[in-house]
Amino acid sequence: MPKKPKYIVLLGPPASGKGTQATRLREELDLPHVASGDLFREHLKNESELGAKAKEYIDRGALVPDDITIAMVMDRLSRPDCEKGAILDGFPRTIAQAEALDAALVEQGHKISVTPSIVVPDEVLVERVGGRRVCRMCGKTYHVRFNLPQEPDVCDRDGGELYQRDDDKPETVRERLKVYWKQTSPLIEYYRGQGVLVEVNGDQPIDAVTEELRTVLAG
């Protein structure tokens, strides 16, 4: 019989390390990494209609409306590589998105396996965002102090140029943190109520967070 699909929802504020951890764990878990922010950035790069709609929200640190976001992520989840499940990163970010995801999974007889919530104090997040650099070609993430590339400003994986995201500038970051606490943090109680929430200490070195997540995901 085929293995039951596994859906993991990584919760956590901006720059808590969701993308970094998903990138490290996706191979050993043999699951695709579905990151809504990356999907939006692809659309922006390709200058698609969806990208044009999303841009004004992303630029000011607001959430893209639920209908656009839900349709984009569900489309991604319907592709063949997600038949075995997915590591979701950055989605859901509102209760409406979480309900839409639950409904879609229930319809297929599936459910979320576990929701690790990566906990990091706000002041640490501000430092992480400020030093985040991203590869223009593949989206791999680095940090100017905590996660350096081998050669300055060049991606280890494909030699792409590293850049700072526009929405990682300080003004927008403050707004994104506000949005997180108001619109996304209620998901912590939502998933606790479903019995799938596990808190993970994100305020430790990258390897230590990966180790803690491995334990949570094995349980």
Contact set with ligand ADP (CB under 6 A): 12, 14-20, 36-37, 40, 57-58, 61-64, 69, 90-91, 93, 97, 128, 131-132, 141-143, 146-147, 167, 176, 205-206, 209
For residue 132, indicate whether it is catalytic. Answer: yes
Q: Smallest distance from the beta carbon of 35 to ligand ADP, in angstroms?
A: 6
* 8-state DSSP, 158: T
Instruction: State which residue, 76 or 176, has the beta carbon closest to ligand ADP.
Output: 176
Pairing state between β 85-89 and 6-10: parallel
Least distance in angstroms from the C-beta of 113 to ligand ADP: 19
Q: In what order do the strands lie in the sheet with 33-35?
A: 33-35, 85-89, 6-10, 112-119, 197-201
Among 26, 84, 165, 192, the one annotated catalytic: 165
User: Is 3 a residue of the active site?
Assistant: no
Report the residue closest to ligand ADP, judged by CB: 37
* CA–centroid distance for 133 within its chain: 16
Specify the residue, 56 or 83, whose C-beta has the smaller distance to ligand ADP: 56
Question: Would you call 176 a catalytic residue per the annotation?
Answer: yes
Beta bridge partners of 200: 118
| Cα→Cα distances 129→146, 189, 190, 200, Å | 11, 25, 27, 19
The residue among 155, 185, 167, 165 whose CA lies nearest residue 13 is 185
State the catalytic residue, choosing from 24, 41, 93, 140: 93
Smallest gap, in angstroms, from Cβ of residue 1 to ligand ADP?
A: 33
Q: Which of 5, 2, 206 is nearest to 87 (CA)?
A: 5
| Closest residue by Cα to residue 96 from 119, 117, 75, 73 | 73
Active centre residues (catalytic):
18, 93, 132, 165, 176
